[in-house]
Structure 1
Amino acid sequence: MKVLLKVLVISFAFLLLGACGVADGGKVTARDVLKNNEDADILMYNGFIYSNVTDLDWIQEDKDNFSKGEHLGDIKKTTSSSFGFRNFYATVLQEGTSIYSINEDEEGVGMILVEIDGEVLYYMQLLEG
């Protein structure tokens, strides 16, 4: 099951990256994502952009395998501008929303989660292609 999950994660990452350019330094930037989709639900954590993948079928099927880990921080600013997009900035999540690691991420899946009014949202790290 973990192999299937890895294959799906890698496949999804390549799909997303096909729609996004790669910025200087090999990281996908908020500008790359928002240029292709101005309504994208993204956040930045630890210098990487994460995109909301909650509605993907495989996330819905496997969400019971993911549990909330340590508190990573809180959203500092909600903005639709890619200029100066920094750690703990988001395009949709409201200021003060807490971000958590996923306990099952020891294999480097690159996912984090947030809880809003009892609902869990999953975000996946976007990597260069």
Structure 2
Amino acid sequence: MKSKVIVFLIITSILSVVFVTMAFQNNTRGNPTVRDILGDNQDADILKLDGLVYGNVTDVDWVQDREYKKGGKIGEVRNKTQNSWWFRDRYATKLPEGTALYMTGDEEYQKEKPPTYVLVEYKNKERIYIAYIEG
């Protein structure tokens, strides 16, 4: 009888912990992180700006079909790295330090409102990077 009570209390405790844990889980996914992307593809051509990760989409058909106008300068790449642990704003995996980053179109850069597209001139070619935004 005593052992049945102990087993019942143990099972009840375990189930309580499971239910409480599930109740406080946040099921929303945020934007992909550098770690997410490099975990799936170590060779990804990405950069980070204002907390968002941008991927090179220059070779995608619908990107090639559009015309992109170089806008105002955002800044420059500060570091080239594959290290996902210390990947900061204006770091890139393929672009060298000092590479200029530009807005597209006539919009001015605002830190609180990161752009959807970033234009980069590298080796006399324009590259387009798009923000990886969930949802």
In 2, distance between residues paired with 1:97 and 1:25?
31
User: How far, CA to CA, are the matches of 1:75 and 1:25 in structure 2?
Assistant: 28
Q: Is the 8 A contact 1:105 1:111 kept in 2?
A: no
Partner of residue 89, structure 1: 91
Q: Select 2:123's aligned residue among 102, 113, 117.
A: 117
Contact 1:100 1:114 (C-alpha < 8 Å) held by counterparts: yes
Deviation at 1:29, TM superposition (A): 0.7
Whose Rg is larger?
2
Alignment-mate amino acid for residue 113 of structure 1 = L
Counterpart position of 1:32: 36
Dislocated runs of 4+, deviation >6 Å: none
Residue 103 (structure 2) pairs with residue 101 (structure 1): yes
Superposition RMSD on alpha carbons, in Å?
A: 2.1
How much has 1:102 moved relative to structure 2? 0.5
Conserved 8 A contact 2:71-2:107: no
Alpha carbons of 1:47 and 1:25: their partners in 2 closer, same or farther (altered >3 Å)? farther
> Does the 8 Å CA contact 1:66/1:104 hold for their aligned counterparts?
no
- Looking at structure 2, the residues matched to 61 and 68 of structure 1 have their Cα atoms a distance apart, in angstroms, of 16
TM-score of the two chains, using structure 2 as the length reference: 0.70
Higher helix share: 1
CA distance in 2, matches of 1:29, 1:56: 21
SS of 2:85's equivalent in the other structure is coil
What residue number does 2:82 align with?
80
**Percent identity of paired positions between Structure 1 and Structure 2:** 41
* 1:60 corresponds to: 64
Relative contact order, higher structure (CA 8 A, sep 6+): 1
- Contact 2:119/2:127 (8 A) holds in 1: yes
Deviation at 1:27, TM superposition (A): 2.3
Amino acid of the residue matched to residue 29 of structure 1? T
Alpha-carbon contact 1:112-1:122 (below 8 Å) kept: yes
Question: Which runs of no fewer than 5 residues in structure 2 stay unpaired?
Answer: 1-27, 109-113
Deviation string for 1:30-54 (max 9, x for gaps)? 0000000000000001110000000
